[in-house]
Structure 1
Amino acid sequence: MTLALALWRAGGLAAAPLLPLWLARRAARGKEFPARLAERRGIASLPRPNGTLLWLHAASVGESLSALPLIEALRRARPALSVLVTTGTVTSAELLARRLGGAAAEPSRSGAMPDSPWLVHQVAPLDIPAWVERFLDHWRPDAAVFVESELWPATLAALRRRGIRAALVNARLSPRSAARWARARGAAAEALSTFEVLLAQTRADAERLSSLAGRQVDTPGNLKHASAPLPADAAELARLSALLGGRPAWVAASTHPGEEQQVLAAHRAALAAHPDLLLILAPRHPERGEAVAALVAEAGFPARRRSQRQDPDGPVWVADTLGELGLWYRLARGAFLGGSLIAHGGQNPLEPARLRLPVAFGPHTANFAEVVEELLAAGAAMRVADAEALAAWATRIAAEPGWAEASGRAAQAAAGRGSAALDRTLAALLPLLPEEGYTAG
């Protein structure tokens, strides 16, 4: 055990008595499920399924979306497989329940997926050795898959001790994170040695991971390319399409604090040329709906909110609900991706591209650098430096539907190159699982 890991374990033991109070405070702010706080301490709320069980961890929304096609592909390849999914955020749990568990799933009450009995969800245990051991004692996974960038020292050490075969897929390691890990190179190498399969999202990620792991890291492609188009309720889409009656619209999706004011300024400028243009403003965190509506009102627009069942009959509609981005994208001619006008790193531009929308993003797109470059090279996207440039893009969306359609077709073609990444990732993971028919003891 490295000194860094020993210090981490000691810090976890010291912090453990205080963490229940911290979790209760998070629950009071809507950051945890109050009824499921015990899961954070590794106390299961459901029985272990019989047979082979794969543990798949996807920390937040982005990782969860990347995992969806992989979960479905694993199930097709191994029909008897059960999957335990853990996440670290309320939003990601709710998204998975809607996408995999059907309308009856209630993530706030349990991790059962009524429409998918082979799939269960738990909130990830915090990285406290005793809590991780309790979690593993109950679930006894036959293999573990971590998506993107979750490296929890105590959890990984427990997997190594128990000989549980593990993989890190679609791995992402930013230059900043790589520099931090480089200062504890021994701990990084020890953590990464847990993974029998180590697959990176991009070539740059693979190089950084290879440097820390001391071994070659493969790059099968980005699983985000493999996702299916975001779903939308067909009846609601028909209703809203009829309500808009061909009115041009654009989406500002997954916006963050500090961006909405710029988006609203851009929309005001675009309205000067196209008074009927609709802005669908969808904050990254729907619980910010009230605050975003206040910004809309400050900008002089009526603050209509989806969460309040108010339809879009003004120039701005605040789309403050979860899991409906697929609906907004189908109503629009183009999409701006938030997290990019501020130093956040950007959100996933493939989701609107997959639905044949031209996309725009600001200067900060490090989280999706290769995807962004592919879309720019395909003529499917535009980088905007500020509100003025965003206004020009939104104006063009309204004024030139033919250009928007052609750009959208290019976006859809660029986004549809993910089947190889999924196939290669699946091929690497299947050997980690016991043969079909295995029964856990």
Structure 2
Amino acid sequence: MINKKLSKTLGPILGIMTFMLASGITYTSAFADDTIAAMAPATTTTTSASATYTDNTATPIKDYSIAINKSSEENGIKVTVNSVLATKHNLKVTLKIEGITDPKAIEHNNSLFEVSYGDKDYGFSSTSSRQYADDKTMFLTLEKNNYEGEYPESGNLRVDVVLSNYKVNIGMDVPVDFTNSINKVFTKDITGTIPEINYTLKQLDSDSMGTTVSYTRPKHSGHNIDDNNDFWDSQILLKVDNNFYKLDSRGDSIGDDGTIIGHYSSKLPTYDNIKNGKDISVIPMLYKVSMDDSDIISNNSNKNTSNDSANNLSYEKEFSSSSGLKGTIYNVERNDNSVKVYCKGQSELESLIIASNISLNYNHVKGQKDATIYHYNRFVSFYKDPKDSLGYIVEFDNVDNDKAATLNISYMLKEISMYKMGDEIKLSN
């Protein structure tokens, strides 16, 4: 999403606050657990008379994480740095915390999780996710974006954990060498603009933690500070050969000259997916909905939900938006650990919009923590259905066979007053 602007001076403060809030966050599907290998599509190509299509099969994404397994214990709480991973501008640390008797005791007002690395760690766009192995064991993943500085290839990484309810104050220095992951970088210049929101696209960077498209926007003035506010829910699609990936805005900051610097990013594709891409382009997907309207939009996705007992899935087979969009899920396949969703609209644009706004979650099971979380929504790609001119196939991998699940159509999609596809922007060679 295109978020409200963040002041550069607030950046470092907000980053620390996010880690302080880390364990108080509602369970999130934003990040995959390090203990499970993420899956990405590998392509085999078939050609028809009119177009070339891609059938995708799941293959593991190469994991460049470094196993650490360094622990420290205090007052019955054991904190272990399980694994770490860094690229030039991204840092991820996975912690294992054992001995927790009451997960609610680790809330935003009584805990702190802080990670720092290198002399130029200006990272402030920080996020976290947690999972429970059992009632007393929590896995916490912390991530930072450091677009203004670069992380070094090697050095000492610092982890601090404060749990006031348990009287725990643990700090660990971890020697690391990220030479392998930091050097896995694919970069392409972009020459193009998105006039509706006054963005000038600059560069695509892909590494072992995902892909980012950077942009700039002219500095604020009194009359234009909110002139793109109605497009805050917009996206960018990245097309690599025959596969599509959704990039969401990760916020922006203000440079020294007042220019706004922002980034769209996604967990997929990674360096290993994109380095051999022959046809790479950026497609703006512009959705117009005012901030005021979004505050009163309610999720009505359950009104027309059908239960598919054969696949143990619930979803809306047909749905529509206030602006006239009409979509359908016309087929679902669930095999092994994969769910393939076949969807389309009334036009190519509608089909792309629908395919990029479908997510999956597990149905709630009473008494289970993390029961609804599907940790791979940010590792989803989609591609054309070779048997339907308007159809797209959205593939979800690593889906637990034993869990009932629901496919969700973004409720915002149903209330968007205007949507359009911006000009496709080819990446320069």
Which bracket does the TM-score occupy, shorter chain normalised? under 0.3
Higher relative contact order (CA 8 A, sep 6+): 2
What TM-score, normalized to structure 1?
0.25
User: Whose helix proportion is higher, 1 or 2?
Assistant: 1
What TM-score, normalized to structure 2?
0.25
